[in-house]
Structure 1
């Protein structure tokens, strides 16, 4: 199968970085998922990447050959409904969401065989309103969950090669997905709770580094390693050292996506990190105190946003007094 049409579902930092690369190579093959108020806003204000407005199509042909899902986790249910008209018999779906569960969730709606495991790593994209900026695009890593890469993966690889999207086709994607999860759990949550940029947790000797913040992130990551081992995934503390080779190359004044959400007063993805880790800890009877604490901190922060309704730990809105 040759991929000739692509839909980007989620026009945030990650979605627009990938969309820009494809657009530069072949503007006619790509479209952005949008409808209702969001569609009108995109049409009126446009979508801008690194200061350049890109004239994307919205919607486009149905079905498409490839859907790239790049939304926030709490928008995934809505995205799954909205992409339905674009999913044909042979449509492939690539999920670039954080976490370790989005492929299974999307697969329950459209068939797990459409989705390789995937992630993007090494991007420092920043998104605000309809504008995205970045220094590092990052690299999409993907591959079959069981390491049996075939026509599905090869067709996506051929498309990325043709359009210049940086990628690596991985033989052991399941381990790599947990590696990215380890990073997100430690770094996203820590920088969000402390409202700090990448420079605070880098290990380069820079003036903005904060050892205590770096140690907190590492403690959260070490809990992921223990849980991953219980799940049969061979992560180890050497993976934390390896991660610094990536984070040390990022713009020290840039922020993780979760820190950006907190600074902008937006809902975070803490449920897929701290809460999911807490639930996995209970499943394996393994204590994860750092992640439990980060979860409680971030849920508290979310409830301090202007106009925010208090929310229970189960995610149910409480009734506002009076």
Structure 2
């Protein structure tokens, strides 16, 4: 199997790097600036699972000329539209697209642009950050990559993909409930993002405040209510684990949105929070806390856009 990783940032660089380290056939599609940085310094990973520096196979958009067996799509959600033209030559009739973007809007965009059959469900849980020097730092040992056919079937192609992913030093698994897992990921991501960005602190710092755990629990309920109305209902087991995570005393848990906010970077406010707010409006669901988060992050984003 030949895999194209679109993007060599914190997510694509980490997982693509681990796969390449294990001897898999991996090529990175990157912008010229990132290509120059990687050719000069190599792809550098700092991780609890072991540090790594390698010289990966690279390609830029103008040099992409043939389809790949699979494409791991790891760009930020707000970069997706711009990336579609770049990656189009890599998509053939049988190419599997594995998007690890946040939210769910990208699934419709990819299905419209390519063939719906090309799109495979994918849910990723990892905490990584791209430093200014181009290195990728994994912040915790968690690295869970799930994938599967959207209808839950176990097809020959998904078995081949699973075999490609196994034995590579990443926690990869085939899921027959991937669509539900993707919605559950959005529930947790939006909830943790809303708590940490609105309150400007870690889960533990919020919990330590009077009413903090109650606020966090209410935010989870708002997000879950939206998803139950418009998507795949989260399981009871997931909700129990999620509620425990967002109210844990002393927890250092934060969201990727909050890390980006702290660094003065763009945040995926529309894809992670805004889409949920719009779904809630359509479904007639009251979401005062999530709406406040949305406005709060829009103010930040507008200031950032104005400065740039």
TM-score (structure 1 length as normaliser) = 0.82
What are the within-5 Å matches in structure 2 for residues 218-229 of structure 1?
218-229=217-228
Return the offset for 1:200. Answer: 3.7
CA distance in 2, matches of 1:147, 1:9: 25
- Indicate which of 183, 195, 207 corresponds to 1:190: 195
- Asked whether 1:268 is paired with 2:267, we answer yes
- The equivalent of 2:19 in structure 1 is 22
Q: CA offsets per residue over residues 10-44 of structure 1, 9 Å max, x none?
A: 222221221122021016x1121113333223333
CA distance in 2, matches of 1:149, 1:265: 43
- Indicate which of 110, 122, 134 corresponds to 1:106: 110
Return the offset for 1:248. Answer: 9.8
Return the offset for 1:45. Answer: 4.0
Q: Is the 8 A contact 1:126 1:254 kept in 2?
A: no
CA distance in 2, matches of 1:245, 1:67: 35
Identify the structure with the greater helix proportion. Answer: 2
Over aligned residue pairs, what C-alpha RMSD do you find?
2.8
- Greater shift after overlay, 41-50 or 142-151? 41-50
CA distance in 2, matches of 1:77, 1:213: 37
- The equivalent of 2:29 in structure 1 is 33
SS of alignment partner, residue 18 of structure 1: helix
Return the offset for 1:221. Answer: 2.0
- The equivalent of 2:292 in structure 1 is 293
CA distance in 2, matches of 1:289, 1:58: 46
Given the superposition, is the C-alpha separation of residues 244 and 289 from structure 1 closer, same or farther in structure 2, using an over 3 Å criterion? closer
Given the superposition, is the C-alpha separation of residues 245 and 278 from structure 1 closer, same or farther in structure 2, using an over 3 Å criterion? closer
Q: Is the 8 A contact 1:147 1:171 kept in 2?
A: yes
Q: CA offsets per residue over residues 79-111 of structure 1, 9 Å max, x none?
A: 211111222232211011111222221121121
SS of alignment partner, residue 152 of structure 2: coil
CA distance in 2, matches of 1:137, 1:72: 20
- Indicate which of 163, 171, 178 corresponds to 2:168: 163
Return the offset for 1:162. Answer: 4.6
Unaligned runs of 5+ in 2: none
CA distance in 2, matches of 1:254, 1:231: 27
Unaligned runs of 5+ in 1: 203-208, 311-319
- Greater shift after overlay, 48-57 or 182-191? 48-57
- The equivalent of 1:153 in structure 2 is 158
CA distance in 2, matches of 1:248, 1:220: 11
- The equivalent of 1:65 in structure 2 is 69
CA distance in 2, matches of 1:232, 1:254: 26
The count of aligned residue pairs is: 297
- The equivalent of 1:43 in structure 2 is 39
- Greater shift after overlay, 272-281 or 253-262? 253-262
Q: CA offsets per residue over residues 128-151 of structure 1, 9 Å max, x none?
A: 231111132411112222222312
Return the offset for 1:298. Answer: 0.8
